[in-house]
């Protein structure tokens, strides 16, 4: 069942609103990472521990980053940053976000941007009619003003 009917009157969230919401989310994620990972880095063996090419603390930070966006978006359709700015992620058809929608949008989309250092592709939001980023297009989602 759709959460709300999608009409042509939806106000799509533009680049700058999404950018500032993302900055708030980064503050939250870095704070969580500091609270969770920092105590372990005081242990010498943990600080020096590596898994292939990555440090264990770096991997934990990445897990926290992706988990925050994944679970907040699936649970509420919005992260804390989006809540503050009155934004919400919805499916194009108005149905509730599924796990696959959320995984594609939040993990695959962000991984591609981060792995390939293609942060500039987030600017696509400014030039598409529905203000969609590539990760939104992959997942058939929209970010709207509530």
Percent helix, percent strand, percent coil in the chain, to nearest 5: 60, 10, 25
Backbone angles phi, psi at 50, to 5 degrees: -130, 155
The set of residues, in sequence order, having a beta carbon less than 8 Å from that of 6 and lying 6+ positions away, is: 90, 92, 93, 94
Q: What is the pTM of this model?
A: 0.82
Question: What is the predicted pLDDT for the residue at 50?
Answer: 61
Q: Per-residue pLDDT tens for 34-51?
A: 898 877 777 656 556 666
**In angstroms, what CA-CA distances link 18 with 78, 83, 108?**
11, 11, 18
Q: Decide if pLDDT at 119 tops 80.
A: no
Which one, of 39, 24, 46, 18, lies nearest residue 126 by Cα? Answer: 18
pLDDT of residue 1: 40
CA 96, CA 89: separation in Å to the nearest integer?
A: 10
Q: What digits encode the pLDDT tens for the residues 85-105?
A: 999 999 999 888 999 999 999
Q: What is the pLDDT of residues 16-26, one digit of tens each?
A: 999 999 999 99
Report how far residue 61's alpha carbon sits from residue 66's, in angstroms, rounded to the nearest whole number: 9
- The sign of the dihedral angle between the CA atoms of 32, 34, 36, 37 is positive
């Amino acid at each position: 069942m759709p959460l709300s009917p999608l009409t042509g009157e939806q106000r799509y969230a533009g680049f700058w609103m999404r950018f500032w919401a993302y900055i708030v989310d980064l503050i939250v994620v870095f704070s969580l990472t500091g609270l969770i990972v920092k105590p372990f880095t005081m242990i010498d063996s943990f600080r020096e521990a590596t898994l292939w090419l990555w440090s264990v603390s770096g991997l934990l930070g990445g897990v926290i980053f992706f988990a925050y966006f994944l679970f907040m978006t699936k649970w509420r359709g919005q992260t804390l940053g989006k809540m503050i700015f009155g934004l919400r992620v919805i499916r194009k058809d108005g149905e509730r976000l599924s796990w696959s929608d959320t995984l594609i949008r939040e993990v695959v989309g962000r991984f591609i941007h981060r792995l390939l250092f293609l942060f500039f592709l987030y600017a696509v939001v400014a030039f598409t009619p529905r203000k969609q980023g590539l990760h939104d297009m992959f997942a058939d989602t929209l970010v709207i003003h509530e």
